[in-house]
Structure 1
């Protein structure tokens, strides 16, 4: 039975992410850390032996000898040296592995398919990666210290058993009872701690409601009162949960004191009555027991750190597994587009079909089949109602979505998985949910005056500048952010530009600038522009207009003259 239990424990340990993480450090380095930890623990226990030896000599009217002093100083120096090096080496090794873990996760993010980021499943990736790795950085030094405390406890218990087997069994019995009581208390109040964090998160959300909904709340007293009542209720509930959590901490502290005094009381008052002991042994037992209590308290108190580290590594590992399964295998094959692609004559989209599930309703939206030809130096407007499939078509045109059917041909050559990444490099896109970087990554050598000149042309002077390789301010209106994104796109100088309702947040004046100046200028430069728009009055700017309806092309025609 005992063998089966041990085998089960070893199997559980083998499958733990924490154990696997330590294995990645490397056996040579790990062996050195464990050896230093072992020596530090043993030398630490020798300190109590030397102190007890001196106490024994004093009790027999013998002054401490040089050998005892040498043992104490030597044990302390060895302990300090080994403990210091074990902590420093483990910290270096752990932070190195955490760096690799972060880089691996970000690399998986970089290579993952675009589709997975459009759902809610992976929205928590930044917080998980930041929060869990920070917790691991704090947890691992404590875990290493717990290992040393375990070695110290074993050595101290061996010394305690050497002094008195009865005292040893008393210590073991009381410690087991105390450990069981600790976990019972922790289990009892665990729900309170979780609830307290939950209520605090809800309160934070309500504070955001006060900040973001200030205008609505001032116009609606009932709304304001209701939100305030919700906050007050949550605050009261959080208060109760935090009181229970505080009681948990108090109970743990009282439990530790009860254990300490129980063991001392049993050894000092009970043990001499029922089991005759040398009086000098009693004096040696007291500091030894006190010395043993410290490691026990640390190990039990730090046990949640083991659980926290295992939970954090599990969360990151499962997240990485999901990212690996959605990896875009073509991404690692990125190269710069060939010159012939930069000077393409025709990109043909033939019978394109794509469908994906709607996670919220388990329904699917299908785009296609549709066909389209794109040539240099032309402006194509995609029109249609909301939900007609225009934005999905843009993702398919740029090669961001993988086709379920159909094919893409560049100058008659079919696009395959090996050339898909190169094909994407032809496009510079501003989607409706675009992201604006604060610097020109990949174009760091562009001169500042050129960027600032474009900022002037986009009428953003006084609002933002490009200094020291970055934009000074991104806290702009959506329309202004789109202008800044357009500047970045122009600097990229790609053959094809994709604009998804770029003009939607522009004022009347700059909307005219966009349609009457910017787009024609790009066409004159030989660039291709594919833009989603609802501005019918500017349809005459386009060379072709393509209308989408229910994911399909309903009609295609030349641009009509402006009214």
Structure 2
């Protein structure tokens, strides 16, 4: 079974110890039935009664000790599995290329690392407890065989009915569970649109209604209906299993004495055992739906890990333990660079290039062009975030090799239009807080946020303010190359002028190389050179 293989692979030595103790505890629980029945039969014999009492106490202590060990260490096991799983997948995600991340989508990663890992975590503890009950059932069945072979065969028949019902429900439910997972990824994607596009939806009633009524609500209903249908198949399984065991009890009580010449005392013992094991049997049957859901979650995670492994097989191994040694910089040359986005059928779509440009150290270069002209794609190629389909990047006259991309990328501080703002200055040691506070005052953010105990007090800022804070962080990073993708687009005239007439000249005096995508032709004089992009290619330089 897939779930058991996963447990064996991920649990390690502690999992084997828990399994052994749990199985021993289940065996003792099964023996407890025989001790109780034996004590009941010898209730009038003083010596025998004391012996059974002693056995009962020993079995009780052993059973409780095993249960205590199992319960305490199961939590450690399950949380350890989730931790390793999440960190392993997260580590592979951070090593993947940007294009893979964009094509997969954050919603799918989020679903796998939260909901599906939690499904596995909750199922592990239930499955371990159910395994003890399964062993108890086995011991009880062996005792029934000792008492009466016909009764044992009838019990096997009831078990066969339960197993067939289980296999039927599993074969029916697994495709539904897989479909539910895929639908929930889409649902969380719509929730992401709802949250990220809150302002746009708030001002557009038709868009708001269309998203919610025609997409979000129907998909939520489909997910609910599919989950209910899946649950109903497991309900049917539970009813069949319970009916089989109640039928077994009736056969043993009413028919076994007539056809198998069983003594009344034997019938009473067998009936008692069946009633005693009914709770453990319900626990074993009840865990089946959760194991099925966990199996689907495991397959989804393993599928994603397989895709990540395939992606990483084409990516040079990166050692994140050490800071990459800086590469010497005199000039960057983009030579015949070509990049194509893929259509859903895998054919080339929108294409950028061929592109040719040389950027010397210390230059301020502006890239002008309309929306969709390829500026952002060019910046992702220039910074090494996209791998070109043709051509190459050259650093100081030498072709940049795949093994150098990690070091090359670390030369850049980048603010894209869809930038993410972190609440901590990750990667920066010994932050000069006085200098940071000066920058906050310069950008008129000191009354909006502050840096305290290693993090910003709030990121609840306007878009322009968030961009100014991202600029402060980029300046603190002190990288040799800074890339700005329409940074000034959301600034008021004062900060726009401050950016072009104060910040950029300051960076140029420091010897920094600046590449900025911009529409602000009023400030083209701040650049050493202005290039224009149309339809994914450079055209004649724009006038300064």
TM-score > 0.5 by shorter chain: yes
Q: Does 1:296 align with 2:281?
A: yes
**Do the aligned partners of residues 216 and 316 (structure 1) sit closer, same or farther apart at CA in structure 2, a change above 3 Å counting?**
same
Displacement after TM superposition at 1:545 (Å): 0.3
Give TM-score, length-normalised by structure 2: 0.87
Moved more, 148-157 or 116-125: 116-125
Displacement after TM superposition at 1:71 (Å): 0.8
**Do the aligned partners of residues 103 and 247 (structure 1) sit closer, same or farther apart at CA in structure 2, a change above 3 Å counting?**
closer
**Do the aligned partners of residues 223 and 281 (structure 1) sit closer, same or farther apart at CA in structure 2, a change above 3 Å counting?**
closer
Displacement after TM superposition at 1:161 (Å): 1.0
Displacement after TM superposition at 1:405 (Å): 3.1
Please tell me whether the aligned partners of residues 352 and 371 of structure 1 are also in contact (alpha carbons under 8 angstroms): yes
The correspondence for 1:495, drawn from 480, 485, 492, is 480
Alignment of 1:55-66 (within 5 A): 55-58=40-43, 65-66=49-50
Q: Which sections of structure 1, spanning at least 5 residues, go unmatched?
A: 1-12
Q: Does 1:403 align with 2:366?
A: no
Alignment of 1:106-185 (within 5 A): 106-121=90-105, 123-181=107-165
Q: Which sections of structure 2, spanning at least 5 residues, go unmatched?
A: none
The correspondence for 1:52, drawn from 14, 37, 43, is 37
What residue in structure 2 maps to residue 448 of structure 1?
A: 433
Displacement after TM superposition at 1:86 (Å): 3.6
**1:350 match: secondary structure:** strand
**Do the aligned partners of residues 389 and 401 (structure 1) sit closer, same or farther apart at CA in structure 2, a change above 3 Å counting?**
same
Alignment of 1:472-491 (within 5 A): 472-491=457-476
Please tell me whether the aligned partners of residues 336 and 425 of structure 1 are also in contact (alpha carbons under 8 angstroms): no
Give TM-score, length-normalised by structure 1: 0.84
**Do the aligned partners of residues 103 and 169 (structure 1) sit closer, same or farther apart at CA in structure 2, a change above 3 Å counting?**
same
What residue in structure 1 maps to residue 89 of structure 2?
A: 105
Please tell me whether the aligned partners of residues 139 and 305 of structure 1 are also in contact (alpha carbons under 8 angstroms): yes
Please tell me whether the aligned partners of residues 162 and 237 of structure 2 are also in contact (alpha carbons under 8 angstroms): no
Q: Matches of 1:355 and 1:41 in 2, distance apart?
A: 61
Displacement after TM superposition at 1:89 (Å): 4.0
**Do the aligned partners of residues 231 and 554 (structure 1) sit closer, same or farther apart at CA in structure 2, a change above 3 Å counting?**
closer
Kindly provide the CA deviation profile for residues 193-219 of structure 1, in whole angstroms up to 9, marking residues without a partner as x.
9999969986996995997634433xx
Q: Matches of 2:417 and 2:138 in 1, distance apart?
A: 63
Q: Matches of 2:379 and 2:77 in 1, distance apart?
A: 46
What residue in structure 1 maps to residue 204 of structure 2?
A: 216
Please tell me whether the aligned partners of residues 29 and 63 of structure 2 are also in contact (alpha carbons under 8 angstroms): yes
Please tell me whether the aligned partners of residues 203 and 234 of structure 1 are also in contact (alpha carbons under 8 angstroms): no
**1:124 match: secondary structure:** helix
What residue in structure 2 maps to residue 7 of structure 1?
A: none
Q: Matches of 1:128 and 1:336 in 2, distance apart?
A: 30
The correspondence for 1:312, drawn from 297, 302, 305, is 297
Please tell me whether the aligned partners of residues 368 and 533 of structure 2 are also in contact (alpha carbons under 8 angstroms): yes
Q: Does 1:22 align with 2:22?
A: no
Please tell me whether the aligned partners of residues 18 and 310 of structure 1 are also in contact (alpha carbons under 8 angstroms): no
Kindly provide the CA deviation profile for residues 404-449 of structure 1, in whole angstroms up to 9, marking residues without a partner as x.
3333333333322332221211110001221111110011421333
Q: Matches of 1:324 and 1:476 in 2, distance apart?
A: 38
Please tell me whether the aligned partners of residues 156 and 291 of structure 1 are also in contact (alpha carbons under 8 angstroms): no
Q: Matches of 2:127 and 2:164 in 1, distance apart?
A: 21
Kindly provide the CA deviation profile for residues 100-140 of structure 1, in whole angstroms up to 9, marking residues without a partner as x.
22222111111111111222456411221221211111111
RMSD of aligned Cα (Å): 3.6
What residue in structure 2 maps to residue 37 of structure 1?
A: 22
Kindly provide the CA deviation profile for residues 477-517 of structure 1, in whole angstroms up to 9, marking residues without a partner as x.
22221111111101001111100111112222222222222
